[in-house]
Amino acid sequence: MSMWNRAAETMSRDEYSEVQLKGLKKSLDRVWTNDFYRERLKRGGVGSPNDITSLDDLASLPFFTKEDFREAYPLKMCCVDRRDLLEFHMSSGSTGTPVVMAYTKGDLLQWAECMARCYAMAGLEKGDPFQIIPTFGLFNGGFGFYHGARKAQLFTVPASSGNTERQIRLMKDFRTKGFASVVSYVPRLIEKLDEWPEGERDLPSLKVGIFGSETFSDETRRRIESRLGIECFDIYGMTETGGVGTTGQDCKCHCGLHVFEDQYITEIVDPATGAPVPDGEYGEVVFTSLTREAMPIIRYRTHDISRIVSREKCECGRTSLRIDRITGRTDDMLIVKGVNFYPRQVEQALKEIPGVADEFQIILEERDGMTDVTINVEAAEGVSGHTVAKHLRERLGFLPKGDVFPIGALPRTEGKAKRVIRKSV
């Protein structure tokens, strides 16, 4: 299988450890020059970067969180001269002060390197037409795919979001081989494609779909692959790590997300205690960057839930750590009638019911300190609310309220789907 950077992606465990310790020390020396980082580390018990002499010492460093980024808004965590900054991206800020990530030339090259590795994992090669559907703007998605496509010398189709009819036309006219989007947009793409005249409802040149920013079930993957005739890849990265694709992706073996261990140290910790969990057990993903310049991260708690799948060499030839696809977020966990569950579990259960379509809503209503849950779904004619409720009760452990709507009745979005709606009554 092809690799973008074979030397970096096939190191031995000892080589990865050596690179990581060197990178960790370099990152600590860099952040120690920044007042915000230095005071935050001192409060966490760090006297000097020289305190860290081995990778085992990483656990003695304090965790950083999204709240640190918000407190440091806009650029208090910047560790370089402002004149060396070339670009920045940030989260939406819909739930508070936005999270900003700034980039030096070196950071943009690092981002492009990671993305080029992801493209190679998906089997894309020089000259392949690749359509970028995420928005080009403050959100990092569009630009991340673009920087990587330039590095990998793909033929970029910079469509950006919206206008599904045009997206399909571009795919047909330019023979798009691969595309990137949020996975919740794909059902909308398929719906619009199904409206085309008989004989024009396929995209024969399309072979690859790369999806990030949202979790999705294996059943969703299978449905998309079957309808579009493509292979789906789950890409990982976030604003705080430097953007989409910076931390890894699954390869053609689809047996876990390959983390770029020469770029990041990965820990899986107990969300409640912060203690490391054994390989194979689920916990919260924590990243430490090794090569970022403007705003490195030290033990950043992502809130993402995953587990270490393997530290052994993959069949694809890569030797990097593999973690499971993200199953949810610690702050997305829902508690209803004493039962804990994640939106992805609802999606997975719904996809097991014949006739149920892709769109669904989870509506939470707070009444006198109690939470009622309503799950609305779209389904083909003949699927009853009783059938849906019965299956959800078996899978989730409680009986939700809900209704079944005709396909196309629930609201659509061009970007990330809003699956959970909270109401106060």
Phi, psi angle pair for 286, to nearest 5°: -125, 130
Q: Give the CA dihedral 56, 59, 62, 67, nearest 10 degrees.
A: 120
Amino acid sitting at position 396: L
Q: Which two tokens stand for residue 413?
A: 């979005």
Amino acid sitting at position 115: M
Task: For residues 108-114, give the mean pLDDT.
Answer: 98
Residue that is written with structure tokens 């994640």 in the block? 342
| Closest among 32, 35, 28, 34 to 54, alpha carbons compared | 28
> 4-8, 102-106, 216-220, 258-262: lowest mean pLDDT where?
216-220
> 122-126, 148-152, 266-270, 353-357: lowest mean pLDDT where?
353-357
The total number of residues written for the chain in this structure: 425
Does position 373 have pLDDT exceeding 90, yes or no? no
Structure confidence at residue 385 as a pLDDT band (50, 70, 90): confident
Crossing angle of helices 141-152 and 105-121, rounded to 10°: 80
How far apart CA 121 and CA 125 sit, in angstroms, is: 10
State residue 381's pLDDT score. Answer: 87
Residues 26-57 pLDDT 10s? 999 999 999 999 999 999 999 999 999 999 99
Does position 423 have pLDDT exceeding 80, yes or no? no
Structure confidence at residue 90 as a pLDDT band (50, 70, 90): very high
Does position 95 have pLDDT exceeding 60, yes or no? no
Residues 252-307 pLDDT 10s? 999 999 999 999 999 999 998 999 999 999 999 999 999 999 999 999 999 999 99
Please state whether the predicted TM-score (pTM) of the whole model is above 0.85.
Answer: no
State residue 337's pLDDT score. Answer: 65
Q: Provide, rounded to the nearest whole percent, the portion of the chain with pLDDT above 90.
A: 69
| Closest among 207, 308, 209, 210 to 258, alpha carbons compared | 308
State residue 346's pLDDT score. Answer: 81
State residue 342's pLDDT score. Answer: 72
Q: Which two tokens stand for residue 348?
A: 């997975």
Structure confidence at residue 78 as a pLDDT band (50, 70, 90): very high
HEC sequence for the chain: CCCCCHHHHCCCHHHHHHHHHHHHHHHHHHHCCCHHHHHHHHHCCCCCHHHCCCHHHHHHCCCECHHHHHHCCCCCCCCCCHHHCCEEEECCCCCCCCCEEEECHHHHHHHHHHHHHHHHHCCCCCCCEEEECCCCCCCCHHHHHHHHHHHHCCEEECCCCCCHHHHHHHHHHCCCCEEEECHHHHHHHHHHHCCCCCCCCCCCCCCEEEECCCCCCHHHHHHHHHHHCCEEEEEEEEHHHCEEEEEEEECCCCCCEEECCCCEEEEEECCCCCCECCCCCCEEEEEEECCCCCCCCCCEEEEEEECEEECCCCCCCCCCCEECCCCEEHHHCEEECCEEECHHHHHHHHHCCCCEEEEEEEEEEEECCEEEEEEEEEECCCCCHHHHHHHHHHHHCCCCEEEEECCCCCCCCCCCCCCEEEEEC
Per the CB < 8 A criterion, the answer to whether 326 and 266 are in contact is no
Residues 312-335 pLDDT 10s? 999 999 999 999 999 877 766 676
Residue that is written with structure tokens 């508070």 in the block? 96
N-to-C CA span, the chain: 55
Domains of the chain: residue spans and CATH: 1-330 (3.40.50.12780), 333-424 (3.30.300.30)
Task: For residues 76-96, give the mean pLDDT.
Answer: 88
Does position 372 have pLDDT exceeding 80, yes or no? no
Pick the residue with more confidence: 84 or 354? 84
Task: For residues 191-220, give the mean pLDDT.
Answer: 91
Residues 206-215 pLDDT 10s? 999 999 888 7
Per the CB < 8 A criterion, the answer to whether 155 and 128 are in contact is yes
State residue 386's pLDDT score. Answer: 84
State residue 397's pLDDT score. Answer: 77
Per the CB < 8 A criterion, the answer to whether 400 and 389 are in contact is yes
Does position 367 have pLDDT exceeding 70, yes or no? no
Does position 92 have pLDDT exceeding 80, yes or no? no
Distances (CA, A) of 311 to 13, 307, 321: 8, 12, 5
